[in-house]
Structure 1
């Protein structure tokens, strides 16, 4: 028995529930890129880092809204059903988690773009600069 198999795998039903739930709260860089490239972006991409970091480089098409500035008044600019995809610097940063939590507490649909800026660059995708 290996270290991998010493803990039994989840049942198929448990795995379906787990991965469905996981995909309901996250997406990846390539899916965001492909949706935007194909004109199928049915979401608002939010860069939740500081304005200075956004100006230095950001994902093309992203709107800058630092996570600390997310509140009811700022979100009134978008219809209540708008899906937001948030990202920050990368796996070492929890800014996207903080933004997602703020949006969820405001009743807004939200997903995190896993990998953030690091994932975007790792996928070979280009960045914009102001």
Structure 2
């Protein structure tokens, strides 16, 4: 008896449709490795890194150069000073948190160009990339268990 592979339960898309979908996915996301390479090489023009979690999380551990704009506080007034020509790369805690998605959606709805950082600060720290923190803030270290600080 031959059984159909589960992998093929839903047939693969034709190559042109798949390429278009994957191009769209890449237009909306950046991975930590690409971002750290840009930061290390000084290629910082054209985008802003946005921490979408609460100020306490931002104080404890953030990607160098990030600004804090909690998604819950995003309003037309709170983003009025942002440059609409730039791309805003939003991140949050991890794949278990959707604050980056919520923040990117709000910014997009307000007319900004956006991307999300895959894996959030958890993936960033797991890769061993540097974080900034406020001097008096308690350090949040990488923990493989899901937590959300938004």
Q: 1:68 to 1:6 in 2, by over 3 A?
A: closer
Q: Deviations over 1:9-57 (max 9, x none)?
A: 1110011111011111111111111111111122000001111111111
Q: Which of 26, 32, 35 is the aligned partner of 1:32?
A: 35
Matches for 1:51-90 after TM superposition, within 5 Å? 51-90=55-94
4+ residue runs over 3 A deviation: none
How many residues are treated as equivalent by the alignment? 130
Q: Which of 115, 119, 122 is the aligned partner of 2:119?
A: 115
Comparing 3-12 and 15-24, the one that deviates more? 3-12
The alignment's TM-score, normalised by the length of structure 2, stands at 0.81
Cα RMSD for the two superposed structures: 1.3
Q: Which has the higher helix share?
A: 1
Distance 1:32 1:105 in 2: 24
The alignment's TM-score, normalised by the length of structure 1, stands at 0.93
Gaps of 5+ in 1: none
Q: Which of 19, 23, 38 is the aligned partner of 1:20?
A: 23
Offset of 1:78 from its aligned partner?
2.2
Gaps of 5+ in 2: 135-150
Offset of 1:102 from its aligned partner?
0.5
Distance 1:79 1:63 in 2: 13
